[in-house]
Structures are given as C-alpha cells and as structure tokens.
A and B are shown apart, each in its own frame.
Chain A
Amino acid sequence: MAESISALKNGEVEIEYKKSSQIKEIWRRLKRNRTAVVGLFIISFIAIIALLAPVISPYNPYEQNLNQRLLGIGARGHILGTDEYGRDLLSRLIYGARLSLIVGFCSVAFGLVFGVLLGLLSGYYKRLDGIIMRIIDILLAFPGVLLALAIVSILGTGIVNVIIAVGIWSIPTIARVVRGTVLYIKEMDYVTAAKALGESDFMILFREILPNCISSIVVYSTMRLATAILSAATLSFLGLGAQPPVAEWGAMASTGRNFIFQAPHLTLLPGFAIILIVYGFNSLGDGLRDALDPNLKNV
C-alpha cells in the first residue's frame, strides 16, 4: 500500500492513513462501557476456571467420601463444603462451569447455523418469507422452555440432546432477528449499487448483507447464550439434562434441594453460579450492542 502511494504522489509527502482495524475500534468503545467490562470480566473469569479445571480444582469432583457428608461452608479442607456423598462442592462447581459453557456455546452455535440461514433467506426472498415465517410462528407459539422440554422428551435425556433441544429452540428467535436486520439492510442504496454492479444474489447476501448483520447477530447470540445456559440448567434441574453423577449446576441445585434445610449452600451456590454467568453474558451483550454500531463513532 505504502509503495503505491509514494509512486502515485511522486515523492510528495502524504499523511498515510492506516486501515484502522474495526475490531480495535470496537474494543476501544467496549472498554468505556462499565457494565460490559464487568460482564466481560465475569465471563473470562468463568472461562479461565473452566479451562483450568483439572489444575485448580482441589479434589476430583466425582470422588465420594461418605465420612464427610454435607459439610458446611468453611469446613476444613473443603472451602465450600461437601454434598450428600461427601464430594467437594468447589470442585464440582468448577467442573460445572465447563459443562455450562460447552452447552451454551454449542446450542447457540447450532441455533445460529440454521437461524441465520433461514433469516437471510426469508428476509431477502419475498417468496420464501411467508413459508419460513409461518413455520417459525409455529415454533414460537410454544411457550418458553416447553418446546425444549418436548424435544428432550422425544430425543431422550442427556447433555447432547439438551444441546440439540436448546439449539432448536433458539432457531426461531435468531431467524427473526436476522430477518428483521436483512429487511432493513436490503433497502440500503449500497445493496442496490451492488446489484447495479452485477453482483449475484449469493454475493449480495453473503458479502454485502451478512457482514452488516453481524453486529446484531453477535449481540443477540451473546444474550442468547445466557438464555441457553439457563434453560439447559433448567432442563437438568428437571432431571432431563445432565444425569448424575455429572457435575452440572442445574442438576446440582436440583439434588441439593433435598437437603435445603440441612445444607442450603448445596442449592444456593450452584444457583448463584448460574446467576453470575447469565448476568455476565447479558451485560456483555448490552455493551456489545453499543460498541458494534459502525455509525456511532467517538460516542
């Protein structure tokens, strides 16, 4: 780049504008948003814990020690106490972070693949819009977690099926969000210009429209991660997701419920972990929404 400038300007000194990376700009704006930073901090904290689980967890999360059952917080050797089988609660919480993140990311990724594609098609092609949106209306008509519940009942219990169920449940709303953005973007003059230049429908969809939908997709999927983790935990709580002895926050809260009077921390701490991760993703999503708008500079 620098060569061609000097060649063109015959040695004349020109101020060179470097391609300021848009990611850098987004990061700069995100840093100024306090809630987003808090959210990002929480998420990174949990992610690091999940990543380093085998290194940092004091005990094997599945190791039972029936001599030390239902220890309270602050017990010797078990900072957060133990559960009904004498398993270390802190270790179980650390391993549970792994599962929550995996379930969240996988199910949202699953929903994104289909949701974005459906949204793009129904937003761009008027003919497909009616059919796709009616199917989505049907999926949306099922109240909340009930759809995921129904899917899990059909597929059977287990963590993979929870991922699929929560993923399918995410498709309609993701498709709606993408469709709305596409409807707005496709009326932009630069899309008309692309058409006038001879770009094909495929090129217009994936090179002009999709990149401009990314910000709403990123924001929505961040928020959706929170919902996905929450509903996966709900399914586990209801006994349809992770099966014992797997360390999963929802399942831990569920089994802890039986001992809520003797050892309330067995229910409260996994619940608190869920709240923390959901809050983290939600506030990060909020901050991203502000930071990702390319037309808001220096705000």
Chain B
Amino acid sequence: MSTSNEVLLEVKDLKKYFPVKKGFISKKVNYVKAVDGVSFTLRKGETLGLVGESGCGKSTTGRTILRLIEPTDGIINFDGENIVSLNKKELRKKRKDMQIIFQDPYSSLNPRLTAGEIIGRAIDVNNLAKGKERERRINELLDIVGLGARFYNRYPNEFSGGQRQRIGIARALACNPKLIVCDEPISALDVSIQAQIINLLQDIQDEFQLTYLFIAHNLAVVKHISDNIAVMYLGKIVEMADKNELFENPHHPYTKALLSAILSPNPKDKKERIKLEGDVPSPMNIPKGCRFYNRCPNKSKICSEVEPELKDMGGGHLTACHNI
C-alpha cells in the first residue's frame, strides 16, 4: 500500500465519558469512561487496525472521531482542521470527507429506499452530481463494489448480508471521502463473504487512496489489512506498532495474551496459550494504577500505584507497561 508521509488524522488525548444519570432530576452520579485518553496519528493511505475485546471503546473511538458521538475532550486534527472545534454547519460540510462502514448490514440501510436511492441520497446531500451525471455515478459506484447497475432498483430486503455490506461501502464511497472508519465491517458476515469484502476494501483503498481506521476483534484479519495496529484495553491504547513488529515482538502482556489466542491452522503447532484470570474492571469504576493490573501475569508493585504512559520502546513501537 502506498503510504505517504502526510498526516491525515491526528488524534490527541481523545476522551468520551458517558454520564450515568439517576433519579427524578437526572442527577449525574457517575461516568462511563468509554474512551479515556486515546492518541494516534494516521498517514494518508495508511490503515490503522484497532483491536480489543468487546466494550473496550473501539467503536466509540471510531464514532467519536467522526463526531457522530460528541467527544468529551481531546483534539482531532483531520486534514489540517480540528474537527472538535467546528460548529454544526462547518461540520456538515466536512462530513463528506470522512465516512463510516457499519458492522450490521441489516440496520445500516434504510429499508424504504432502493440501492440506487441510498447511494443517490449520499450524492444529493453533498450536491455532487445532478441528472444524468448522477445516474451514471450511481451505476459506476454499484459497479465498483461489484454489484452492477441492474441492482439499482432493488430494496435492501432483496439482498444478502454481503451484498448489503457492498451497498454500504458504495454509499461511503459516493462522496469521495479521504478517511473511512470501518466499524467491524466483516464481523457479521460469513467467513467466505468476509474475504470478499476485505479484498474489496483493499481494492478500493488502492484505487481511491483511502485511509482506513479498521476496527475489529479478529486479529488475523487486522494483520492482513493493516499497516499499524493499536491494541485497546478499557478505553486506552496499551500498545501500538507496525503490524509485523506487533505480531513478532509483542511487549504488553495483554497483547501477548491476545496473540496467543489466535488459532493456528497447523494442529501440531503447540503454542503456549496465555490464559487471563479475572474480568475487565467496570469502565464506571476504573482502578488506580495500571488498568490491566488485576489480570496481569507479571505485575509489580508500581503497577497498582502509577498508571503507565504510552512510551516509545524504539522504532515507533509504543507500549504502556512498567515492566518492559
């Protein structure tokens, strides 16, 4: 993949706290710290894989970057502009540059519109084309995602999950975005379809110089599609590195545990399986010190006292752990 050095997206200390309200007057009693200080940069044409277990804040991170969820705090520099400081009108103009592909192909398409109308709406909202040009563009997009113009007049319920996902991709492509947040785009699909969608995503990335933030929990898929991988745990990035570096030389005990859980196609391959004890702490009540402390196999005294910072361990390999 062609990766230039130009930074497209820079996220600094992004936070999203959801208030927990209780009682008659909706008093805020607590906060769910879904995203708690996430920072990373994405260069043009690059793919960053964001992995982590359910509820660690991956999707919230992705949606907060697009301001589909309003961030609590932090800076999102996209294409030289701080997205967080834009007002509603400016933001709406900027929206076409950053799109999203969803996990659930069944709820991501309006059941009352045909495939052509869904894509057409994306074109209309941003005034990208009119009349014949608009029709041509819709058919072209249907072709790009491998459906063909004959599907123009069909409703979502006449499509399979994989085909629906293709329409979702065509819709995201319709306004020529620079960044696409892929929010677990393949988790809801059959394995055979997953490969097709991944290939499609890679093809259009090459063709249109797209930058991806690829959210997933399947490590093998993430390794296949990403340039860099960030591992999230309880609202924070605990390790981030080039994909090969991360797979061959993981630093953080959580990353090691995740990697050890990947199944090998070779049954004789006897890998050491790291089993984590305990549960993830509640994001409403994050413990002092390292977030991973209660489950960590090689913790030391400092871990329960001081929260480790994300530090460069050499060659751009960032890790947040005291014991490296």
**Interface size in chain A (residues, C-beta < 8 A):** 33
Q: Is the CB of A197 within 8 A of B95?
A: yes
For the complex, is A63 an interface residue (Cβ under 8 Å from B)?
A: no
Which chain B positions have C-beta within 8 A of A195? 68, 95
Shortest Cβ gap from B323 to chain A (Å): 40
Q: Is the CB of A22 within 8 A of B155?
A: yes
Among A10-18, A36-44, A90-98, A107-115, the stretch that binds chain B is A10-18
Q: Is the CB of B110 within 8 A of A17?
A: no
Which chain A positions have C-beta within 8 A of B155? 20, 22, 294
Among A77-85, A152-160, A186-194, A216-224, the stretch that binds chain B is A186-194
Contacts known (A15-B150, A17-B153, A196-B100); A190 close to B126, Cβ less than 8 A = no
A295 to B109, CA, bound (A): 12
For the complex, is B111 an interface residue (Cβ under 8 Å from A)?
A: yes
List A273-299 residues whose CB lies under 8 Å from chain B. 294-295, 297
A251 to B20, CA, bound (A): 55
User: Which of A22, A192, A211, A295 is B102 in contact with, Cβ under 8 Å?
Assistant: A192
Q: Is the CB of B149 within 8 A of A192?
A: no
Shortest Cβ gap from B119 to chain A (Å): 11
A5 to B148, CA, bound (A): 9
Which chain B positions have C-beta within 8 A of A200? 92
Q: Is the CB of A22 within 8 A of B112?
A: yes
For the complex, is A24 an interface residue (Cβ under 8 Å from B)?
A: no
Q: Which residue from chain A places its CB closest to the CB of B108 in the assembled complex?
A: A189
Which chain B positions have C-beta within 8 A of A194? 110, 121, 125
Interface residues on B, range: 35 or more
Q: Which residue from chain B places its CB closest to the CB of A14 in the assembled complex?
A: B150
Q: Which residue from chain B places its CB closest to the CB of A212 in the assembled complex?
A: B112
For the complex, is B54 an interface residue (Cβ under 8 Å from A)?
A: no
Q: Is the CB of A198 within 8 A of B126?
A: yes
A19 to B66, CA, bound (A): 34
Contact with A along B139-166 (1 / 0, CB 8 A): 1000100001111111101100000000
Which chain A positions have C-beta within 8 A of B66? 196
Which chain B positions have C-beta within 8 A of A198? 92-93, 95-96, 125-126
Which chain B positions have C-beta within 8 A of A197? 95-96, 99, 121-122, 125-126, 171, 175
Q: Is the CB of A190 within 8 A of B149?
A: no
A147 to B204, CA, bound (A): 61
Contact with A along B73-102 (1 / 0, CB 8 A): 000000000000000000011011011101
Q: Is the CB of B150 within 8 A of A4?
A: no
Contact with B along A110-124 (1 / 0, CB 8 A): 000000000000000
Which chain A positions have C-beta within 8 A of B304? none
Q: Is the CB of B108 within 8 A of A190?
A: yes
Which chain A positions have C-beta within 8 A of B92? 198, 200
For the complex, is A8 an interface residue (Cβ under 8 Å from B)?
A: yes
A294 to B155, CA, bound (A): 9
A9 to B139, CA, bound (A): 10
Which chain B positions have C-beta within 8 A of A20? 153, 155
Which chain B positions have C-beta within 8 A of A14? 148-150
Q: Is the CB of B68 within 8 A of A196?
A: yes
Which chain B positions have C-beta within 8 A of A188? 107-108
Q: Which residue from chain A places its CB closest to the CB of B97 in the assembled complex?
A: A198
For the complex, is B294 an interface residue (Cβ under 8 Å from A)?
A: no
List A124-165 residues whose CB lies under 8 Å from chain B. none
Which chain B positions have C-beta within 8 A of A19? 114, 153-154
Shortest Cβ gap from A24 to chain B (Å): 12
Shortest Cβ gap from B149 to chain A (Å): 5
Q: Is the CB of A193 within 8 A of B153?
A: no
Which chain A positions have C-beta within 8 A of B112? 22, 211-212, 294
Contacts known (A1-B152, A208-B110, A295-B157); A189 close to B102, Cβ less than 8 A = yes
Q: Is the CB of A190 within 8 A of B110?
A: yes
For the complex, is B168 an interface residue (Cβ under 8 Å from A)?
A: yes
Contacts known (A195-B68, A198-B93, A198-B126); A17 close to B121, Cβ less than 8 A = no
Which chain B positions have C-beta within 8 A of A192? 63, 68, 100, 102
A196 to B174, CA, bound (A): 12
Shortest Cβ gap from B4 to chain A (Å): 25
Q: Is the CB of B149 within 8 A of A196?
A: no
Which chain B positions have C-beta within 8 A of A295? 111, 157
Q: Is the CB of B154 within 8 A of A17?
A: yes
Shortest Cβ gap from A71 to chain B (Å): 55
Q: Write the residues of chain B forming the contact surface with A, with a CB cutoff of 8 angstroms.
A: 63, 66, 68, 92-93, 95-96, 98-100, 102-104, 107-112, 114, 121-122, 125-126, 135-136, 139, 143, 148-155, 157-158, 168, 171, 175
7 A-B residue contacts at CB 8 Å? A8-B143, A22-B112, A193-B100, A193-B168, A212-B112, A294-B111, A294-B112
